[in-house]
Structure 1
Amino acid sequence: MSQPIDRRADRPVYKQLADDLRRRILAGEFPHGGPLPSEAQLSLEYDAVSRTMVRQGLTLLKNEGLVSSQHGRGWYVRRHREVRRMASTRYQAELDQVARAAETRDSTPFHYDHRDFERFTLDKRGEDVPADAELAEVFDVPEGTVLFRRTFTFHFDGEPHRRSYSYLLRDMFDGTAVLDVANEPWPGGTMAQLDLVGVRVTAVDEIVNARMPTPEESRALQIDDGVPVLAVRRLMYAGERVVEACVDIVIPADRVSLHYRTELSDPRPPA
């Protein structure tokens, strides 16, 4: 139930309206994914405040990521999305797959965090692209070197969850099944693919940045207004050489929890 607007208060009317709607949403009065009253209804409910004030209050909540708008359909409470864990330990688990027979490997490293990741479906595209200045620096090759780019969009329970742009040096895999994305998901993941050509991964860098999604990412991943994405840059090394680069793995920030663990050694000599 709404609380009255205090027109004599120092706090602007639209912020009071947003405060009260926020309270009601968090209290469960309006369910996740459900509609809010129309702007006209809210105007009447909040002591006949103007539609402009109502819209400003709703926009404030939209910028907080609490509500969203649908053109021609009104305002909705953002629906709750399942948060999935991504742990750094998945890389050691992936490398451990290399020693196993292909038919006994997990299909992707996602299995190491969630067994229900086997329910995913994968939109996939592979193509040759020339290395731009950034990728040429990453791989330490001349600009224009041919790379094989794999664009993967992962869907869970029918909904898009994340997208990755993975690059490999094209000449490393000429004549191999790796260049046919129809073979994805590859048993054992990328490290098993690299092992196919005798390359053993020795280290992985992950660099995580937050940013707002591009319009194309918002459409493809069905990202609600006001929600940033995590852009996870992953570089796989064999010794000092980068042999695979994900630039980037793009995940809406309300759908993932990144979990990193670092084993520490005691600097004191043993007694």
Structure 2
Amino acid sequence: MPKPAYIRIADELRKGIRDGAHPPGSRLPTLAVLAAEHGVSEIVARQAVAVLRGEGLVETRRGGGTVVRIRPPVRRVAMERYRVETGPLTAPATSFTHDQRIGWSEYRLDREYRGVRADAELAALFALPAGTDLLRRRFVFWARGEPQQISVNYLPWDLVGGTPVADPEREPWPGGTPAQLSYLGHPPTRVEEAVRARMPTPEEVETLRMAGGTPVVTITRRMFSGDRVLEVCRDIVIPADRVVLDYSLDL
């Protein structure tokens, strides 16, 4: 069975994007041009463009036509990145600045702090009773002027209340959360991460300036000091087209 016309047009445009005939940042032909070239209506041409938009390959700008998306640099993330934060720092840095290969002056961290009580899921992650007082910190991480990830982490209030760690004006903190736990006298000894993938929420799409059709990778993290869970991150959210997760296992 022959493919519908809009699929054939989308296939041709996709091939042009991948082989460089339509490079990142360039405009696709207008709907009128596509319709004339392929002998179809503009409605069919619009359907073809919608397929590519849903795949995250193009974006439509008001007054600017349909443009091939500029792919952001892919960031490689490995568990070993936390060694940057737990070892001696010769210059201000965090695992994020290390991953992004940026200096401290290129790093920006938006933050929002508030007290909450642990719901059933957080209580289970912390191995604490439901209703335990926690500090909730929501961060948006920026590199080179672009938002790259969202992180929402929780710390026990009895650990951080009244300390500089609970002061948003102290952020960004060189060494990140591991350095903060060490400052409090509880250096982290183990990190656990669980990785999932899903479609983003509308708020995440807006905050991270994501193209339609792009999923996110979410990482739920727990930091231990000895046997005690001192931090839960639920979640780290990164657009899936901006990250490669690297994991190694010594055997």
Same fold per superposition (TM over 0.5)? yes
Letter in 1 for 2:14: R
Identity of aligned residues (%): 46
Aligned to 1:36: 28
Structure 2 counterpart of 1:184, from 157, 171, 180: 171
Residue range with higher mean Cα deviation, 248-257 or 66-75: 66-75
Tell me, in whole angstroms, the C-alpha distance in 1 between the residues paired with 2:154 and 2:102: 27
- After superposition, give the CA deviation of every residue in 1:183-241 in whole Å (9 maximum; x if it has no partner): 11212221221122221212111111111100000001001011100001111112332
Contact 1:166 1:247 in 2 (8 A): yes
1: CA distance, partners of 2:71 / 2:49: 18
- Per-residue CA deviations over 1:44-100 (Å, capped at 9, x if unaligned) read 1222x0122112211222222212233564322111211122221112332223xx6
1:16 corresponds to: 8
Q: Structure 1 232/117 Cα, relative in aligned 2: closer, same or farther at 3 Å?
A: farther
Within a 5 Å distance, the mapping from 1:47-66 to structure 2 comes to 47=39, 49-66=40-57
1:238 corresponds to 2:225: yes
Question: Mean alpha-carbon deviation: is it higher for 57-66 or for 171-180?
Answer: 57-66
Q: Helix, strand or coil for the counterpart of 2:131?
A: coil
Q: Compute the displacement of 1:126 (Å).
A: 1.2
Q: Which of 195, 200, 208 is the matching residue for 1:213?
A: 200
Question: Within 5 Å, which residues of 2 pair with 1:156-167?
Answer: 156-167=143-154
Matched residue type, 1:106? P
Asked if structure 2 preserves the Cα contact closer than 8 Å seen for 1:33 and 1:80, the reply is: no
- Correspondences of 1:1-271 after superposition (within 5 Å): 10-47=2-39, 49-71=40-62, 73-97=64-88, 104=90, 106-118=92-104, 119-264=106-251
Task: Report the TM-score when normalising by structure 2.
Answer: 0.92
Q: How far, CA to CA, are the matches of 2:99 and 2:19 in structure 1?
A: 32
Q: Is the 8 A contact 2:109 2:140 kept in 1?
A: yes
Which one has the largest radius of gyration?
A: 1
Matches of 2:91 and 2:72 in 1, distance apart? 29
SS class of match (1:128): strand
* Contact kept? 2:102, 2:143, Cα under 8 Å: no
Distance change (3 Å), C-alpha of 1:109 and 1:204: same
CA RMSD of aligned residues (A): 1.8
Aligned partner of residue 122 in structure 1, secondary structure = strand
Quote the offset at 1:105 in angstroms.
Answer: 5.5
Q: State how far apart, in whole Å, the 2-side matches of 1:136 and 1:221 are.
A: 29
Deviation at 1:144, TM superposition (A): 2.1
User: How far off its partner does 1:109 sit?
Assistant: 2.1
Q: 1:267 maps to which residue?
A: none
Change (3 A) 1:105 1:178: farther
> 8 Å contact 1:105–1:188 — kept in the other structure?
no
* Structure 2 letter corresponding to 1:13: A
Change (3 A) 1:77 1:111: closer
Gaps of 5+ in 1: 1-8, 265-271
Aligned residues: 250
Give, in angstroms, the shift of residue 252 of structure 1.
0.4
SS in structure 2 of the partner of residue 258 of structure 1: strand
Q: 1:117 to 1:232 in 2, by over 3 A?
A: farther
Query: 2:100·2:143 contact (CA, 8 Å) conserved in 1?
Result: no
Tell me the distance in 2 between the aligned counterparts of 1:115 and 1:51: 45
Q: Which amino acid aligns with 2:94?
A: T
